[in-house]
Amino acid sequence: MNERLDYNKIKEYLGTLASSCSEIDDFVGYNEQELHDLLSSKYGISGKLLTIFKYEGALNGNDQRTLAGRVIHFGILESISKVDDYTLEASTIADCERVGFKVLSRIAYDSKRPDSKWLYKNFDQNTVEFNEIRLKSNLGLVGMEFSLTLKTKQPLTIDVNDWSDIESL
């Protein structure tokens, strides 16, 4: 069973994963201001943060079946206390990578469950890429970014009620 996918479903799903994972302490969706507010708050980041960096897509297929490949970029980040402690930086990046793979493993698990609706059979591990993150700031924010593609049905159908210049199909 496929259900139409959109940004809000991705954000809600990743937020649920973040709150369910014992090693993730916070979540921020794809909103630069929200991330900035969290980083600038009195407490900042304590522990690991899952954040969405980018959400994009592309259509492919034919007249009978159109698929939307949605590319989701998320990161696992952590603030380190000493920005010039390169051993700490490297171990924190490695730990964020480990936690990121836990998130990917959960996505793979959920994609095999028929009750997962839009995610069911739509995760392809061959699309996963990951890169280290070192944000240049006094916050010492480091971690790992992951990207994955979900392919879901995206029918290109017209509802005549949406268009004043179309009477019928």
**pLDDT single digits (tens) 19-72:** 999 999 989 887 666 766 666 665 667 789 999 989 898 888 777 778 888 999
CA 85 vs CA 43, 71, 92, 131: distances in Å: 21, 34, 11, 20
Characterize 59-69 residue by residue with b for buried, 16 or more Cβ atoms within 10 angstroms of its Cβ, and e for exposed.
Answer: eeeeeeeebbb
d(CA 64, CA 55): 26
Cα 149 versus chain centre, distance: 10
Domains in the chain, please, with CATH?
7-162 (3.30.70)
User: Which residues are CB-neighbours of 150 under 8 A, at least 6 positions away?
Assistant: 5, 69, 70, 72, 118, 119, 122, 123
Say what the pLDDT of residue 15 is.
Answer: 96
**What is the tens place of the pLDDT at every residue in 118-158?**
999 999 999 999 999 987 666 678 999 999 999 888 878 88
Does the pLDDT at position 113 exceed 70?
yes
DSSP per-residue codes, 114-138:
GGGGGGTT-B-GGG-EEEEEE--ST
Pairing mode, if any, of strands 26-28 and 48-61? parallel
97 — pLDDT class (breaks 50, 70, 90): very high
Q: Are the C-beta atoms of residues 125 and 109 closer than 8 Å to each other?
A: no
